[in-house]
Every structure is written in C-alpha cells, then in structure tokens.
Amino acid sequence: MKYNITSVTDYLEELTGFKTRRLTHAKGEEKKLPLAIATSYSFYDLEFMETQVTIAIPTGDGIMPMQLAKHQAKMIEAFNHTVIFALESVASYQIARLTQAKVDFIVPGKIVFIPSMLIVLRELKNTVKEMPEKMPPVAQLLVLYHLETRIIDGLTASEIAELTGLAYPTINVALRWLVTNGIIALTGGKQKHVHITMSKEEIWKKSLPLMTSPIERILFTDKKPEGSLMAGETAMGHYTMLVEPATPVIAIAKATAKENAAMMNKEYGDIKVEVWKYSPALLSENEWADRLSLYLCMKDSEDERIQMECDTLIKEMKW
C-alpha cells in the first residue's frame, strides 16, 4: 500500500484549498454493512467542505468498478453521508466505468472525481469544477420549500431528504450550494443543521437573481397525467385577473413525464405540459402550481398583461 489517509487528505487539501478535519469513525455503523463489504475496507471519517464524509480505503485488490458502485450505495445507506473511495491506482479503461456509475473516488496524485460534492478534477490537471452561478434545481426547490411549504431552519439534510423524498447526497449538494452563496448556514457537529437568519422575504429577494424558470421542456397530451398541477397561464388565471387560455396548461415532474411518455408528444394535444426540473407537487397542497415557481416561469414573458399579473403574484404573497 503506497498511500494512506494522510496522503489522501493532503491531496484533497492541496487541490481544493479546503482543510480537512479527522473525526472519530463510529465503529457501530459498519455493523449495518454486509460483513464481506465491512471487512474489505478501512474507514476514516473527515469533515471536508463543511460536510462529513467517509474515506473508504480497500484493504485488498481486485474490486471491480461495478462492485464499488454497489458497495458505495450500501455504505451511503449505512453511514447516511457521502462515501469516497481512495484507490491506489485505476486502469485507464476503468475510469470511464467509474465515472459513468458516478462513483466518488480519489487516486492520490492523479485523479479526484467526487460528483456528489461537485468536485471533478481530471488526471494531472489541477482544475476544480466550480459550483454553478445560477441556483441548481434542487437548491431552488429547497428555498421555495422553505418559503411556501415548510420551514427547513433547524433541520438536518437527512430530515429534509425524508420530508421531500429526495436522495441524501442530492440534498447535501444543494445545501452546500446555498451555504456557498450566503443564503443559509450549516451549524453543529456530525449532524449539521440548517441555520437561517433572514426573513422569508429577504431570502426571496436575495435568491431571485440566482433563480431560473423550473420549466425544462414543453410537451402536449390529450390526457392529464396523474399527479399533475395546473400551471402557466391557467394557474395565473386562478391567482390573478388574467383570462385562462383555451388550452389548459399543466406542470409535471421529469419522472412523471418519463412514466407517461407514450401519451405525450412535442407538437399536438389538447393540453400543454410543462416538464419541470423539480417536482411541482412538493410545493403545493392543492391542484395549482405554487406562486413563486409560477412567477419564475412567467416573469420573462413579453406579454405586458402577464408581467402585470406577475407583480400581483408577489404582492399577494403572505411571507
């Protein structure tokens, strides 16, 4: 073994500029793993980029990329946070398999690939993929969820994942983006909690320039899919004085669009379908898309009537 946890942390700190801090690894967590997996690695817990991660170093050779992907899923389920494999070497033909499987891994001195933490460093290139300037869809969902559905102040990433039904690593990445951009803070030790000091209206005003329309694409259908919400001009007509269009507009999540792909097309249908980047149902308790997402969908319309009613949507918000 030519590397150890110290060489791993030194490499991470050198390339990212973020300091790491060793944490005590809870041995009891390994009991949640199948014995064959638990005995195949040495585990080290770190605080890195204000997040707890576990570094898993194989104790032997011969673990294939797809095995790593399966092992990583089991470890995340057991440890409830990001797991990064530290590997002594990776054959060039295996790198593509690991990256396609979205396995978080490090080869000290050569490669860092941690997509769950938005860090991708190519072989022998000291360049870090920056966080996107515009708010990612899940981060935007969490802000709107806090503003319109349920306050997330004081909750952990695990608790938010349970509430929303989204994966823990996905929530974790979104929270770190919000921390980086000064919208929330994370406090506490091993289990960090969301800490919000701004009022809801202040959060909206600070977040708005970073937000984008949730609409990913437009489709058409003759039958309204289960779980869809009224959206677009149809929802504007519900919330404001705008006249509802002859063609109803609905919003669905990407997963719903995939499930109902056979009944949709790009040009024809009695119903206009907005496929959103996040689930509209998470932000509404009735059949109408939420006000703030609707505003984000409509605010750039060239129709002056819609522009006026967009202002009405915000003025009537109960912060």
DSSP 33-59: S-HHHHTTEEEEEEEETTEEEEEEEES
pLDDT of residue 109: 79
pLDDT of residue 289: 97
Neighbours of 191 (CB within 10 A): 12
pLDDT of residue 276: 97
pLDDT of residue 214: 97
pLDDT of residue 131: 54
pLDDT of residue 91: 78
Please state the pTM of the whole predicted model: 0.64
Rounded Cα distance between 224 and 229, Å, is 9
pLDDT digit of tens for each residue in the chain (319 aa)? 457 888 888 888 887 778 899 998 877 788 899 999 999 999 999 998 888 999 999 987 767 878 899 999 999 999 999 999 998 888 777 888 888 888 999 988 788 889 888 777 654 444 444 556 889 999 999 999 999 999 999 999 999 999 999 988 899 899 999 999 999 999 987 789 999 999 999 999 999 999 999 999 999 999 999 989 999 999 999 999 999 999 999 999 999 999 999 999 998 999 999 999 999 999 998 999 999 999 999 999 888 899 999 999 999 998 8
- Per-residue burial over 195-228, b if 16 or more Cβ lie within 10 Å, else e, is ebeeebeebbeebeebbebbbeeebbbeebbeeb
For the chain, the residue count is: 319
Alpha helices for 23-144 (secondary structure H):
35-38, 65-79, 92-100, 137-144
Q: How many helices (H) and strands (E) does the chain have?
A: 12, 14
pLDDT of residue 122: 54
Q: Kindly calculate the radius of gyration of the chain based on its CA atoms and give it in whole angstroms.
A: 23
pLDDT of residue 121: 67
Say what the alpha-carbon torsion angle 252, 253, 256, 258 is, to the nearest 10 degrees.
120
